[in-house]
Structures are given as structure tokens and as C-alpha cells.
Amino acid sequence: MNAQTPEPLPLTLTKQSHSCVRLEKGGRTLVIDPGGFSERDAAIGAEAILVTHEHPDHFDEERLRAGLETDPAAEIWTLRSVADKLAAAFPGRVHTVGHGDTFSAAGFDVQVHGELHAVIHPDLPRVTNVGFLVDGSLFHPGDALTVPDHPVDTLMLPVMAPWSKISEVIDYVREVGPRRAIDVHDALLTDLARPVYDAHIGNLGRADHERLAPGESRSL
């Protein structure tokens, strides 16, 4: 008798403020980008924390330290510019990753895609930025319009940023081709302007488009 392939565990996404998201599966938790615009306890309770780049709206040392100090088993995966700030204080718990790397964290399988932050202005140097594809399904690109060489079911969509315009956001959704796109990087987008973005992305993006309030969850 052939052994049956086990059913994948259900995955729950909870939107936090700005670019922070919380993923839960089988009683384990992974958090991406608990930065300075997200809740102060955004990293607490996470076994695995992923950080896409060093900008303060994605990387906040105080929030990361709170998560690591609350749970001695919690670990971080991030690029070198962030890892160098934390590794000495938490030896063996901060892991440096880059484009093409794969790893398992808190029961999640993660692939790393991308290398550079999107261009804000030609006069500003570009910092390193990586995106994370979680369980071959959900992609968080950080501050870049990286297209992974893998199908994406759920795209965490940087909807509004100093480095983008809405036509680029729409074309990014089209190029990635996800089943659904859920807004992140939205703290600078006012409630007055949201319906404009919702309409354009929803009508032109060729994917189901969702906007979640901080604390709101979806089963994926």
C-alpha cells in the first residue's frame, strides 16, 4: 500500500501595520518585517523572523530584540546589513541569507529572491533588499518589484512607496501573476486615496486584490 501524502497544514496570514505580516501554521509563527511603523509587539511570539532590508520601516532593532529576548528559541533570517547589527548580541540565532538561498524556519520552507532595493532617486545609493517566498506560495518582496522564478499564489504587494507609481504596481502584479494580491507598504497611503488605488489595481491588476486592516486575518 502506498503511503498517502499528508495534507498541507492550513496557513493563516495576519496583516500588521505597514509591511509587517504574521504567518501561522500548525501552532508555529513566522513574522516578516516588524519595522518601526508596525506594532511594538510585532515580533513577540514568533519563532522565526525575516527582515527584507535595513530601512527603519522594515527593520527596528528594538522590536527584534523584544522578540528574541521574549523567546530564547526565536531566530532571525536576514541580509548582512541587518545581521551585523544583531549577531553579536544573539550568537547563533541570526542568520545571513541572500538571493538563491533556501532554508526552513519554524516549519516554513523559505526561498530568497532579489538583491537590491528599488530606485528611490538616482542620487541615492541602493541598499540590499531580499524577498521571501514562503512555502512556495506567498511572496513578500520587501522594497523591490522582484519577480521570483517560481509561481506565486499570494503576493504581498507594496502598494504605495516613495520609489513607485501606480502603473508600476499594476504592471508588477501582472508580471508576477498571482492568484491574489494583498496590500503591504501602505502606511503612507491615506484613507482618502485608498479607493483610488483599490479601483485601479482591482480593475487592471488581473488578480484578486485585497486590502486588510491591521490585525485582520485570512486563511490561505
Q: pLDDT tens track of the chain, all 220 residues?
A: 566 767 788 999 999 999 999 999 999 999 999 999 999 999 999 999 999 999 999 999 999 999 999 999 999 999 999 999 999 999 999 999 999 999 999 999 999 999 999 999 999 999 999 999 999 999 999 999 999 999 999 999 999 999 999 999 999 999 999 999 999 999 999 999 999 999 999 999 999 999 999 999 999 9
In a domain, 216, yes or no: no
The CATH number that applies at residue 94 is 3.60.15.10
In a domain, 59, yes or no: yes
Q: Considering the entire predicted model, what is its pTM?
A: 0.96
- Angle (CA) 162-165-170 rounded to 5° is 135
Q: Which helix (H) or strand (E) holds 105?
A: strand 102-105
Question: Beta strand pairing status for 217-219 and 94-96?
Answer: unpaired
Amino acid 36: pLDDT? 98
In a domain, 189, yes or no: yes
- Give the number of domains in the chain: 1
In a domain, 26, yes or no: yes
**pLDDT tens digits for range 41-65:** 999 999 999 999 999 999 999 999 9
Angle at which helices 166-176 and 194-204 pack, to 10 degrees?
40
What are the helix and strand counts (H, E) for the chain?
4, 14
In a domain, 20, yes or no: yes
Amino acid 2: pLDDT? 60
Cα 163 to chain centroid, rounded: 17
**pLDDT tens digits for range 63-86:** 999 999 999 999 999 999 999 999
In a domain, 5, yes or no: no
Give the Cβ contact number of residue 220 at 10 Å.
Answer: 18
Query: Which residues lie below 8 Å from residue 200, measured CB to CB, with a gap of 6+?
Result: 166, 170
Find cell 538561498 and name the residue: 101
In a domain, 219, yes or no: no
Q: What distance separates the 2 farthest-apart alpha carbons in the chain? A: 64
State the residue range of the domain holding 105: 12-211
Find cell 513566522 and name the residue: 30
In a domain, 104, yes or no: yes
For the stretch 90-95, contacts whose Cβ atoms lie closer than 8 Å and that sit 24 or more positions apart, written own/partner, are 93/68
Amino acid 4: pLDDT? 72
The span from the CA of 153 to the CA of 32, in Å, is: 17
